[in-house]
A and B are shown apart, each in its own frame.
Chain A
Amino acid sequence: MLSKLGILFIIGTLFTSLSIIFLTFKELKVIDNLIPSKIYKFSLFQLFFSISSFFVLLLAYILSDFSLVNVYENSHSNKPLFYKISGTWGNHEGSLLLWINILVLFSSLFLFLTKNSDKSFKILTLLFQNLLIITFLIFLLTNSNPFSELFPVPLEGLGLNPILQDPALAIHPPLLYIGFVGSSIYFSAALAALISKIDSQSFAISIKSWVLVSWFFQTVGILVGSIWAYYELGWGGYWFWDPVENSSLMPWFVMTALLHSILVLERRIGLYSWVIVLSILTFTMSVTGTFLVRSGILNSVHTFASDPSRGLFILSFLVIMVFSSIFIFFKFSPKENKKYSVFSKEAFIIANNWFMIFFLGVVLIGTLYPVLLDTITGSKISVGPPYYNLILAPFLIPLLFLMTSGPNYKWISNEVRSLFNLVLVLSVTLFLITFFLIKEKNFLINLILFFSIYLITQTLFDFYESFKKKNINISRIISHLGFGLLIFFIYINHIFSVENNFNLKLGETKKTDYYTIKFVNLEEQSIKNYKSIIGYFNVSNKKNFTSKELRPEIRVYDKPFTITYEASINSNLFSDTYLTMSNISDTDVFNIKFQVKPFMNLIWLSVLLLSLGGVLNFFKRKKYEKN
């Protein structure tokens, strides 16, 4: 029943999308300034159909309707409701349906919310967006149909993998999808702008909100994803330079570059072609990332069951997309007016863009190199985190410096500013205090710490200044402050992280440099569908004589047989104490991983601050538009 209904709604979406393509194509030849109401109606229907199809799948998951292969393979009637719901997008087919929903949603929102814009630009954007929708609908129907039926209907589903039942894992995919699928709308808009030849300023204004929205969701999605890795994977790290993480970071770099260069374009200073290239690149990177993850040529902790035919489809789509973009770009390349000068805001923004593109290149090479080498020479390699850390770290220094001084320059000016001022003196003092507190010897790390402190002080100072003058560019200040704090805390965390691996028996005590860990008690409990072995540990700090109790768990599930290690984390604003225990081959020896990680919560908060800047900018624009 639900299966047929779902397919019906999908066909409905397909039909309306085709109609929109047909109508917009016809409208291209009509020279007037009115978009016919038919297009608006079809767009509404399209939105209705696609959202309904998603709700049908959601309902099938909630009701545990195992007549759908998808539900049968990924759900179980004993699953908590929350995980039944998140199961909808936790698999390839369901997530594809979510993709299509976001494509459709952005298509309609663009149509209804973009006002006072050139008609042919709007129509063409809609046309390109619907071409994307159609392609993905065909992919869904022919290769990855979430509504495939199963007969006879099984009584129970298969999916109850406890590792995958985690709130952060459940919510981060939709956030990321809104981020990088959302970038499709400015991909379509960029192609439309080329063909319709609209002026650079109105293009910049019409895509800015979309860039902000997708950038915000991408940032938060990456944040939640790394929180999941930190709490659930049990390794105590939060970023592993894993291919999937990389493929969410790559579009983020381009979005960040785009966010900045739009500011230049908005003021008719230049960069039109560049903004268009970036708009195209963002969605291209998103699709490339999806290809790498779903085709199975790279595999990572975030496993999607993969299938070469899917890879082939996404690759063909990518090829068509990239080559038609290149073709359109060179055929209709826009006229530039270049007005920028060396010591001006725009020059700093261009520098920011270079850094973002460089970071993108580094991550892209690191991710693709194993694939290329494997194909060409057959040797199997993996690129470890040292590669990324070694290359990216030195470049943080100039980036931080540019972020510090850049924003205070004026547009189109050539006035050189003196670098010596109160803020610099203050920053040097603060840095020296930090240096004597932490006594870090590595020169590079000290430089990074200094420049992040400089950025933080300068931004706070800017905040005070602009508050006095009452023209607050609060969003920039918040975001840059967040970035400065992020880098600062990441490095402080890096310096002060303690990790100890050792084996303990019940009742024994282990002494490390600063901590004493006592294995106090061991308890066994039977809970609903698993057996839990809980260790009681007493961790006392030798310096300040505080002690904490930590209770790591080993859970043994029987359906399917799975062992999970639940880390016990004692977390406060300044430091996380992290303990995992595991047992090797049923002896009475337990293997303990003990970690102290300072400022974890402040790292999360910094990223939140960074993304908050995006939200503020979005609402500031809305207010600005109204006035």
Chain B
Amino acid sequence: MIKKHYSSNSRKALNVIWNAAGDYDFDPPFLAFYSNGHPDFYFNVIIGLTKKWLDIDKITAFIDSYSYASASDEYDEYVWLALESCLYDKEIGSRPALSDLRKAHAEEFFRIQQSLSKQQMELMSMPVYTQQQARWSAVTGRKMPLMSPKEHKIYEALMFPSELDTDVLIQRLSEFLKEYFRFDPEASDKEAGRHKTGLFKKLWGRHKYAQIKNTGHLIVRTGTGDGDPANAVLLKQENGFNRTAGDDAEARAYIESCFGKSLYPEAELSNIESVLCSGDDIDCKLWFAEDKSSHKHTPTSPDVPAQNENRTESARSVENKSPDKTDPCDYSSLQLSKQALREISNAKSSVNEQRSKNIDYFRKHSMQINESIRKLSSELETVISSYLKHLPEPSERGILDTKKIYRLAVLGDQKVFLREGDEAENNLSLTILLDASQSRMNSQELIASEAYTLSESFVKAGISVQILSFRSIKGYTVLSRLKSFEDKRSDGVFGYFAAGWNRDALALKACGHMISDIQKKEHDRQHILLVLTDASPNDSVPLAPKPGEKRPGNYEGLTPVENAREAVEELRKSGIKTAAVFHGSTAHLENAYRIYGKEYIRIRSLAQLAGGIIDLMQSVLRENVPE
């Protein structure tokens, strides 16, 4: 079952319903809450029992049938009292605890009524209140309220017995509404000309019931629950792409002012471009930068300190090989038009705003995130340690170390045997590469929190982590480092924002280059690259024209996917274990498979991240067991 992203209270309510129903494979059309937002335990059990004992779809359809009536809220309360009576009797034989739950609910009813203000009492429907009071008084053994003869008849009529099946029960409910309220659901529906059918009726119903009802006892219809994370923003291709030398200079200045100085000196950057910007990427440029957007921010939460506080000296110094270390935000020396400067200023404000949103999202889900980190890091430790080589250590038993046997005779040292020690040779590193193109704009907060969760989990498991983001703007594919290996904490990732295009193949090649810099220094280090992507490469810089073609093709469709696949293949050949976390439209799922093969997982929510990553890591590490 696909899990939608519910609040924790909703998920609690759902679990009670599913448990009572004995079925987790349905989406309950109702959830019960008190007006303070807490789930109503007993009535969620009743909703679950509706599924267990009756046809919940027919019950829902009946409730929908009078939803247009002005008194529909009141009718709902009567209907649920009737259902409660019937379902309680059906279930009590097999669930004796239901009696205590019913009493507890009844006591809660009276406790809430005592706390209501006079105004709140006036807002209530007194006929409904009387019936509820009567029902719960009988349950708790309290004195029954004073009722008129009609009210008494309604009270008796709502005591639906257990032997009713769905059709008879609905028939009785219909008769009840007709007799006591002169309301015929089918007749009034048609008369009003609002006998909607099919999809429109469902949508209308959802619209109407996606509100919280303000009564002491809430039955709330669930909304549409749009859990589709795709929300892919289609990037419109520019018509044609022509670049002049002047454009080049301005684009370069623009990129530098947006993202900061290049990590590589000019000459080295040129060399890198000459190697990597080939084939379909021949018209492209590269930029490698350190994300400094968080440096000027004061901490907004004790959990998320400013990046500066957590950087080691080496991280602060940055692997910036540029000789010019002036304030990275001082772009007055760069020749940019006023419009460009204005654009950049606005963009920086938006980036700051996005950072705040990322942090707010993190705070809102911090319990879930911290729990995921705790669980994931513990499981990662187990998985990873099973693939690491354990260093041998001297012992009093094991395999005889003949080189040391003399110590036995001469020194009486019995530790002349070797056995696998506890210490493992941890030579794993992880790079998390985030697609930061505009197609991700509806998932920015989620992606930042996902990356944070992953990074912290791996760090806690003893793996060093860096986080990079990539996007393409003005012909430049820019890799920004949000967290370096030396950074102790991962909150730099909250500087993540989505903008621009995504030229996946070139980004992967550029990332591979950054990793190879490390591999040159640390030969034994094994590297894992984890790409968070929607597997939908798209760029304004077109593909190189094919032989015989006059016009270049747009960078979209199958060719960029194939280019990305080749880039991943090259990475894997160079020893970088590459895998992906796919979070996007089902339409692009095939792309994810083409590019990454089996080494990817699909997730739709943060809750699925931990479990998916463990499976993925086992698969990735198993493919390349250390010798």
User: Do A and B actually bind?
Assistant: no
Binding site for A on B (CB under 8 A): none
Please report A residues at the B interface, Cβ cutoff 8 Å.
none
